[in-house]
Structure 1
Amino acid sequence: MVVTRVVRAALAVCAVAAFAGCSSDDSPDPDGTVTVDTVRNALLKPAEVGPTWKAPAESAAPNQLVSICGADTAPAGVPGKPQLVAAPLSDEGTEGVQSLTQLGLVYEDAVSAATALATLRTIADACPPSVSRPAKSGDREEPAYTETATTAPLEEGGWIGFVTTRQKQYDKAHPATADVAVAALARGNVVLVDQYAIYRLGKSDASANPQFSADWQKLVGTTVKRLSGQ
């Protein structure tokens, strides 16, 4: 993305926090179970994130989430048998790409949701702290890179889970950075999995994306507060 679009995106993410105080018209069932429609309506729409964001033409397979550890690891499978709501968004520019993958896993009960979260956390805890990969050629051409990953507990508005953050540094001959945050949070019968990623070309230092941490927290926090009816 060009610098002007990066600025607009940062402002848009800040503006999205204004939606955090808005509650959905939907409400949980009398027994406290959150419905699929409530989750679907809580997920962010392209215009709410920024004017250049849109829904991509292609989306992931329905039985997959996102890759938690990154590098060459496959996307995590959906644990258990929830109803899955997906809302992927992206903002593509000439100097990079931003993406937000929103996944709501709606289970029959809180025990199933907690078990699913524990399964995802087990995957995250097994992520290696650093991985280096050689350059790839062919359809998925990519320069050599080193990717680091850390996992930490995460709590937001009564939702509890974890976040795995990754940074990818490419070979100096191909300056670029990629920052990814995968947040998984559970409350009641719902597990929310959000992946925010920003890829910047022409950058080779760790501070290339100074707004990254604040941005993913605002995006996740907005959805969580909507689901909590705040």
Structure 2
Amino acid sequence: MLVIGRVFRVAVAACAVAAFAGCSSDDPPAPDTFSVDAMRNALLKAADIGPTWTAPGESAAPNQLVSICGADTPPVAVPGSPAIVSAPLSDEGKEGVQSLTQHALVYEDAVSAATALASLRTVADACAPSVSRPAKTGDREEPAYTETASTTPLEEGDWIGFVTARNKQYDKAHPATADIAVAALARGNVVLLDQYAIYRLGRSDASANPQFSSDWQKLVRTTLNRIG
């Protein structure tokens, strides 16, 4: 079991066929193809992470993705027309909350998946490096905060993509921090989009979540290993 502690190019090859000629035996093999069922089985379940993790009673619609840039930006639009498999999980403690939102976008072919990954990367590259927002009131009450974001390439075995990491520092009158990682990786006909977030209450220092980087990487790698 993978235990996360409590809160304390895609390359596409084409063969040009001329008269009396065909693809040679030296051509690259066809890219991997994964089924919807395979991806559904690969996404992590609560029991795969730890005893305090559960599937939330209420969650966003399965075809609603996560926000890559954070702040007030809406969830990113689904690129293309994939079949979508989702699995949200959370761990709520007295000192904060952790969540893992998993989306597998299953396309008809590798070209569509590569195009989708490029679309998501375009969104990530446009994220503002720093955004400050005033306090919110009403149904979604939230203290004022400053959120920073950075996007870097990500490669795990045969999976290639990027990760956007964000950090929220809340108003000192409401000490809390949040770290969010949105990883997008493509292989064959699939794009895996994972968001891991951890919110800690009563903390106002940027190093409040020292295991954040290693934890989101463990979660992503575990899923990729299950896919094979």
Distance (whole Å) between structure 1 residues aligned to residue 187 and residue 220 of structure 2? 14
What is aligned with 1:129? 129
What is aligned with 1:152? 152
User: Quick check: 1:145–1:170 contact (8 Å CA) kept in 2?
Assistant: yes
Q: What residue ranges of structure 1 are gaps of 5+ in the alignment?
A: 1-10, 15-29
What is aligned with 1:17? none
Which has a greater percent of helix? Answer: 1
What is aligned with 2:102? 102
C-alpha displacement of 1:31: 8.1
C-alpha displacement of 1:95: 1.7
Query: Aligned AA for 1:183?
Result: A
User: Quick check: 1:153–1:162 contact (8 Å CA) kept in 2?
Assistant: yes
User: Quick check: 1:68–1:75 contact (8 Å CA) kept in 2?
Assistant: yes
What is aligned with 2:91? 91
Moved segments of 4+, more than 4 Å: none
Q: What residue ranges of structure 2 are gaps of 5+ in the alignment?
A: 6-29
Distance (whole Å) between structure 2 residues aligned to residue 32 and residue 138 of structure 1? 47
What is aligned with 1:6? none
What is aligned with 1:187? 187
User: Quick check: 1:110–1:187 contact (8 Å CA) kept in 2?
Assistant: yes
Distance (whole Å) between structure 1 residues aligned to residue 82 and residue 164 of structure 2? 22
Distance (whole Å) between structure 2 residues aligned to residue 63 and residue 218 of structure 1? 25
What is aligned with 1:38? 38
What is aligned with 2:4? 13
Q: 1:48-92 CA distances to partner (integer Å, 9 max, x unpaired)?
A: 101010001112123321000000000011111100000000001
1:68-79 equivalences under 5 Å are 68-79=68-79
What is aligned with 1:22? none
Q: 1:121-177 CA distances to partner (integer Å, 9 max, x unpaired)?
A: 000000000000001111111100000000000000110000000000000010000
CA RMSD of aligned residues (A): 1.4
Distance (whole Å) between structure 1 residues aligned to residue 201 and residue 95 of structure 2? 5
Tell me: CA distance 1:151–1:32, structure 2 relative to 1, closer, same or farther (3 Å).
closer
Tell me: CA distance 1:51–1:222, structure 2 relative to 1, closer, same or farther (3 Å).
same
Identity %: 79
User: Quick check: 1:92–1:98 contact (8 Å CA) kept in 2?
Assistant: yes
1:113-124 equivalences under 5 Å are 113-124=113-124
Tell me: CA distance 1:94–1:13, structure 2 relative to 1, closer, same or farther (3 Å).
closer
Distance (whole Å) between structure 1 residues aligned to residue 47 and residue 202 of structure 2? 28
Query: Aligned AA for 1:12?
Result: V
Distance (whole Å) between structure 2 residues aligned to residue 32 and residue 199 of structure 1? 36
Higher relative contact order (CA 8 A, sep 6+): 1
The alignment status of 1:172 with 2:181, answered yes or no, reads: no
C-alpha displacement of 1:204: 0.4
Question: Number of aligned pairs?
Answer: 203
C-alpha displacement of 1:13: 2.8
TM-score w.r.t. length of structure 2: 0.86
Distance (whole Å) between structure 2 residues aligned to residue 191 and residue 36 of structure 1? 12
Query: Aligned AA for 1:98?
Result: Q
Query: Aligned AA for 1:210?
Result: P
Distance (whole Å) between structure 2 residues aligned to residue 62 and residue 219 of structure 1? 20
What is aligned with 2:223? 223
